[in-house]
Amino acid sequence: MKRVLPIVASLAFLLPLPARASEDLSIKVFKLNYRRVEEAALLIRPHLSDAASITLTQRLNAMTVTDRAENLKTIEKLLTDFDVPPRGFTFAVKLVRARADVPAGSIAQEIGGLGAKLKSLFQFNDYALIDSAVLRGVEGRRVECRLGEDYALSFSIGPAGSGSDLILAPFTLSRVRVGDMGRLILTPLYRAPMPITLNQTLVVGASREEKSKTALILILLAQELPRAAVEKGVAGAKTVEKKP
């Protein structure tokens, strides 16, 4: 069967694969609603035969696949599972200032039951809450917020798949200062890819050196939003607690 590839004005690029004339091939068009067609092409490529070809139409976020009928059924199932709405999450964040150069004090009430955990992880005498916020975000997008007057947090939510593990990258905690003409200048204090697990509290400490007498401690808890909440839209940062 002679293969005829359609000529489309919005053709982005062609991913050719060697064909064999003896193959009985079929053609099927797949249109994606939520995921990018380029990502879908990478997903299905290992499942194609040597005789297959893919034509991507970026304008329509669609692909035309030529392959054996049984392979097209496999590809259809893969794309059905892949092309789902992005997942949404909440991130409960607390920024704490820890000090070793003061007498031991009581743990600030706003830190809640995490006081004992902080004492077991760090050798400081006093822990005070700088700011606290609940953030919302969707996979593939960036999240940013101010914490107190002097700090800013930002991260992008990597593709989440269907599991409970996420990658926030780059996960950046910065100090904020006002420069000339009121321009805000951000100086990163901590910047690294951050693997997290849903419903598990993550504690990250940042200090200038190992024996520093002061440090910033970031406490983060991520949870998944119900699908309905994601479809209604994702709100920005909402500060729920604050202490100077």
Domain membership of residue 34 (yes or no) is: yes
Question: Among 62, 82, 102, where does a domain finish?
Answer: 82
User: Do 67 and 164 fall within a single domain?
Assistant: no
The mean pLDDT value of the chain amounts to 81
Residues 127 and 56 in one domain: no
Average pLDDT over residues 201-218: 78
140-158 tens-digit pLDDT: 899 999 999 999 999 999 8
CATH number at residue 18: 3.30.1370.120
Residues 64, 113 within the same domain:
no
Pair (235, 146) in one structural domain: yes
Whether residue 109 is found in the same domain as residue 203? yes
- Comparing CA positions, the residue from 16, 1, 24 lying closest to residue 64 is 16
Is the pLDDT at 54 greater than 50? The verdict is yes
Same domain as 129, residue 78? no
| Residue 1: inside a domain | no
In a domain, 115, yes or no: yes
Are residues 217 and 205 in contact, defined by beta-carbon separation less than 8 angstroms?
Answer: yes
Query: What's the domain count of the chain?
Result: 2
In this structure, the answer to whether residues 237 and 185 fall within a common structural domain is: yes
Predicted pLDDT of residue 11: 42
Residue 49 domain-assigned (yes or no): yes
Of the candidate ranges 37-46, 119-128, 190-199, the one whose mean pLDDT is the lowest: 119-128
The residue from 26, 49, 82 where one domain ends is 82
Do both 116 and 214 map to the same domain? Answer: yes
Of 26, 53, 82, which residue sits at a domain end?
A: 82
State pLDDT tens for residues 64-73. 999 999 999 9
* Residue 108 shares a structural domain with residue 163: yes
Q: What is the pLDDT of residues 62-104, one digit of tens each?
A: 999 999 999 999 999 999 988 888 889 999 999 998 888 777 6
Which domain, by its residues, includes 74?
Answer: 11-82
Nearest Cα neighbor of 226 from 87, 36, 105, 98 is 87
Contact assessment for residue 87 and residue 138, using Cβ atoms and an 8 Å cutoff: yes
Token couple for 103: 């007498």
Confidence of residue 10 (pLDDT cuts 50, 70, 90): very low
- Whether residue 76 lies inside any domain: the answer is yes
Using the predicted structure, report yes or no on whether residue 239 has a pLDDT greater than 60.
Answer: no
CA 235 vs CA 16, 134, 137, 160, 232: distances in Å? 43, 10, 8, 19, 9
97 and 55 fall within a common domain: no
Q: Are residues 65 and 115 in the same domain?
A: no
Structure tokens given for 70: 């049984």
182 alpha carbon, distance to own chain's centre: 31
What does the DSSP assignment read for 132-181?
Answer: EEEEEEETTSEEEEEETTTEEEEEEB---TTSSEEEEEEEEEEEEEE-GG
Residue 193 domain flag = yes
204, two tokens: 């990250």
Tell me if 64 sits within 8 A of 40, measured CB to CB: no
Q: Are residues 107 and 221 in the same domain?
A: yes
